A and B are shown apart, each in its own frame.
Chain A
Amino acid sequence: MLTRISGGEIVDPPNGRVGPGDLWIKDENIIEAPADGRADRTIDASGCVVMAGAIDIHSHIGGGNVNTARLLLPEQHAAHLRRPDGTPLSNAGWSTVETGRRYATMGFTTVIEPAMPPNAALHTHLELADIPIIDKGTLAILGNDDFLLSMIRDKASPDMIDDYVAWTVGSTRALGVKVINAGAAAAFKENVRTFSLDDVVPSYGVSSRRIVKTLQGAVERLGIPHPLHVHCNNLGVPGAADTAARTIAAAEGIPLHLAHLQFYGYGTEGKRKFSSAAASLAELVNASREVTIDVGQVMFGQTVTISADVMRQFAARGSAHPRKSVIHEADGNGGGIVPFRYRQDYYGALQWAVGLELFLLIEDPWRVFFTTDHPNGAPFTAYPKLFELLMSRDARNEAASLLPHSAMALSTLSTIGREYTFEEIAIMTRAAPAKLLGLEDRGHLGAGAIADVAVYRRDADIAKMLGRAALVFKNGDQVVTDGEVTHYRWGKALRLDPPKNPAMIRRLEEFYQQRYGLSLDWLAFPDSAIARDEPFGEVPCRA
Chain B
Amino acid sequence: MSVAWIGDRETPFEQAAEKAAALLHASRCPLFTIDADTDGTRAAIGLAKLVGAAYDHPGGASLARETTLFTDQGGMFVTPGEARRRADVLVVVGALPDIHLSFLAELFTSPPDLPAVGQRRVFVIGNVSLPPGTDGLVEMLSCGGEAATLAALRAQCAGRKVATPVQNFDRFAEALAAARFPVFLFSGRASESPAIEMLQGLVSDLNRKSRAAALFLPASESGWGSTLASTWLTGFPMRTGFARGFPEYDPWRFDAARMIADGEADLHLHVSTWPDTAPANNDGIDFVALQHTDGPVAGAQVTIAVGEAGIDHDAVLYSSRTGTFAFKRAPAASSSPPAAAVLRAIAERVPGGAPDLC
How far is A74 from B70 in the complex, measured between Cα atoms in Å? 10
Give the CA-CA distance A314 to B321 in the complex, in Å.
25
Q: What distance in Å separates the Cβ of A474 from its nearest Cβ neighbour in chain B? A: 15
* C-alpha spacing A78/B213, complex, angstroms: 30
Are the CB atoms of A74 and B85 closer together than 8 Å? no
Whether the Cβ atoms of B211 and A77 lie closer than 8 Å is no
Cα–Cα distance between A49 and B72 once the two chains are bound (Å): 46
Asked if A326 contacts B321 (CB within 8 A), the reply is no
Contacts of B113 in A (CB 8 A): 146, 515
Chain A: minimal CB distance from B162 (Å): 26
Q: B81 contacts A331, CB within 8 Å?
A: yes
Q: Kindly list chain A residues whose C-beta atoms are within 8 Å of the C-beta of B322.
A: 119, 518, 522-523
Q: Complex: how many Å from CA A528 to CA B314?
A: 9
Residues of A110-142 whose CB lies within 8 A of B: 119-120, 122-123, 126-127, 130, 132
**Shortest beta-carbon distance from A493 to chain B in Å:** 15
Which B residues touch A66, using CB under 8 A? 232
Q: Which of A90-98, A400-408, A497-505 contacts B (4 or more CB under 8 A)?
A: A90-98
User: Considering the chains assembled together, what is the distance between the CA atoms of A70 and B249 in angstroms?
Assistant: 12
Q: Mark out the residues of chain A between 51 and 93 whose CB falls within 8 Å of any chain B CB in the assembled complex.
A: 62, 64, 66-68, 70-74, 77-78, 81, 93
Q: Which of A9-50 contact B (CB under 8 A)?
A: none
CB distance from B330 to the nearest CB of A (A): 11
Decide if B12 is an interface residue (CB 8 Å cutoff).
Answer: no
* Stretch of B16-24, B93-101, B117-125, B234-242 with 4 or more beta carbons under 8 angstroms from chain A: B234-242
* Contact status A327-B321, CB under 8 Å: no
Q: Are B78's CB and A330's CB within 8 A?
A: yes
- Taking a contact as CB atoms under 8 Å apart, the answer to whether B232 and A531 are in contact is no
With a CB–CB cut-off of 8 A, which chain B residues contact A324? 72-74
Q: Residue B207 at the A interface, CB < 8 A?
A: yes
Docked complex: B221-250 residues within 8 A CB-CB of A: 227-229, 231-237, 246-249
CB of A421 to closest CB in B, whole Å: 37
With contact pairs A130-B233, A146-B85 given, residues A74 and B71 touching in the complex (Cβ less than 8 Å) = yes
Contact count band on A: 35 or more
Instruction: Give B64-80 as 1s and 0s: 1 = Cβ < 8 Å from A's Cβ atoms.
Output: 00010011111111110
In the complex, what distance in Å separates the CA atom of A526 from the CA atom of B330?
A: 13
The interface bits of chain A over 187-229 (1 if a CB of B lies within 8 angstroms of the residue's CB, else 0) are: 0111100000000000100000000000000000000000000
Q: Is the CB of A96 within 8 A of B232?
A: yes
- Inter-chain contact A189/B70, CB cutoff 8 Å: no
Check A440 for interface membership: any CB of B closer than 8 A: no
Closest approach, in angstroms, between the C-beta of A85 and any C-beta of chain B? Answer: 16
B315's closest neighbor in chain A, by CB? Answer: A529
A325 near B74: Cβ-Cβ < 8 Å: yes
For the complex, give the distance between the alpha carbons of A123 and B224 in Å. Answer: 13
Q: Are A327 and B72 in contact (CB under 8 A)?
A: no
Contact B316 A529 (CB under 8 A): yes
The CA-CA distance from A127 to B325 in the complex, in Å, is: 11
We find that the number of chain B residues with CB closer than 8 angstroms to chain A is 57
Name which residue of chain A comes closest to B326, CB basis.
A522
Asked, given contacts A77-B236, A329-B78, whether A123 binds B85 with beta carbons under 8 Å apart, the answer is no
Q: How far is the CA of A523 from the CA of B72 in the complex (A)?
A: 31
User: Is B236 a contact of A522 with CB atoms below 8 Å?
Assistant: no
Contact B314 A529 (CB under 8 A): yes
**CA of A146 to CA of B323 in the docked complex: distance in angstroms?**
18
Q: How far is the CA of A368 from the CA of B237 in the complex (A)?
A: 38
From residue A130, how far is it (CB to closest CB) to chain B in Å? 6
Bound-state Cα–Cα, A451 to B78, Å: 44
Chain B residues within an 8 Å CB radius of A126:
38, 229, 232, 316, 325
A485 CB to closest chain B CB (Å) equals: 10
A249 at the interface (CB under 8 A from B): no
**Given the contacts A97-B233, A203-B115, A130 and B85 also touching, CB distance less than 8 Å:** no
Residue of A nearest to B86 (CB): A189
Contact B324 A314 (CB under 8 A): no
B325 touches A122 (CB 8 A): yes
B181 touches A132 (CB 8 A): no
A330, B84: Cβ atoms under 8 Å?
Answer: no
A97 to B73, CA, bound (A): 26
How far apart are B117's CB and chain A's nearest CB, in angstroms? 12
From B114, which residue of chain A is reached at the shortest CB distance?
Answer: A203
Chain A residues with CB under 8 Å of B181's CB are: 189
Check if A420 is an interface residue, CB within 8 A of chain B. Answer: no
Q: B134 an interface residue at 8 Å Cβ cutoff?
A: no
B262 within 8 A of A: no
With a 10 A CB-CB cut-off, give which of B74, B110, B236, B324 has the most chain A CB atoms.
B74
Which A residues fall within an 8 A CB radius of B?
62, 64, 66-68, 70-74, 77-78, 81, 93-98, 119-120, 122-123, 126-127, 130, 132, 146, 188-191, 203, 314, 324-331, 334, 337, 488, 515-518, 522-526, 528-529, 531
Q: Which residues of B contact A (CB under 8 A)?
A: 38-39, 42, 67, 70-79, 81-82, 84-86, 106, 110, 113, 115, 180-181, 207, 210-211, 213, 227-229, 231-237, 246-249, 314, 316, 319, 321-327, 340, 356-358
Given A94-B235, A330-B78, 6 more pairs with CB closer than 8 A:
A95-B232, A97-B358, A120-B324, A517-B106, A522-B322, A524-B327
Cβ-closest 5 pairs across A and B: A94-B235, A525-B327, A120-B324, A326-B74, A516-B81
A-B contact pairs, 9 of them (CB 8 A): A74-B237, A119-B81, A120-B325, A123-B325, A190-B180, A191-B210, A203-B115, A325-B74, A326-B75
